């Protein structure tokens, strides 16, 4: 049984099941467009960490409709060089949301 430096031991009785969000199963709860940024607060019902909430900021996307269209309806919260992905993610708390707004205002 090996343990990776940053991973979990999958054979451990204490490991949690894969809780990666399904990019096809989500609900956008709130959004804010400011300057050249769009912040979205998204609920991924299959994700277990932070009750499935993600706060993401996208650059050069000006509406939720544009985001959905450019991602073909899939919102993957992970960073990617190939696909449309967030430029920043924040903790899904009031403080995290305020930090996201400050990020959008100061960039």
CA dist 105 and 20 (Å) reads 30
pLDDT at position 17: 58
**Residue 33 belongs to what H/E stretch?**
strand 27-34
pLDDT along the chain (107 residues), means of 10: 43 56 95 96 91 96 96 94 94 97 94
What is residue 71's DSSP assignment? T
Q: 48 to each of 8, 9, 10, 45, 74, how far by Cα in Å?
A: 16, 18, 17, 8, 19
- Domain ranges in the chain? 31-106
pTM for the whole structure: 0.81
């Amino acid at each position: 049984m090996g343990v990776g430096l940053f991973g979990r031991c999958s054979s451990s009785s204490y490991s949690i099941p894969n809780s990666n969000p399904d990019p096809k199963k989500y609900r956008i709860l709130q959004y804010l467009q400011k300057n050249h940024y769009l912040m979205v607060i998204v609920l991924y019902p299959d994700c277990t960490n932070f009750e499935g909430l993600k706060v993401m900021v996208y650059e050069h996307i000006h509406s939720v409709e544009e985001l959905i269209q450019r991602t073909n309806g899939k919102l993957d919260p992970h960073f990617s060089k190939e696909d449309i992905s967030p430029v920043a993610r924040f903790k899904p708390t009031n403080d995290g949301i305020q930090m996201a707004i400050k990020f959008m205002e100061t960039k």
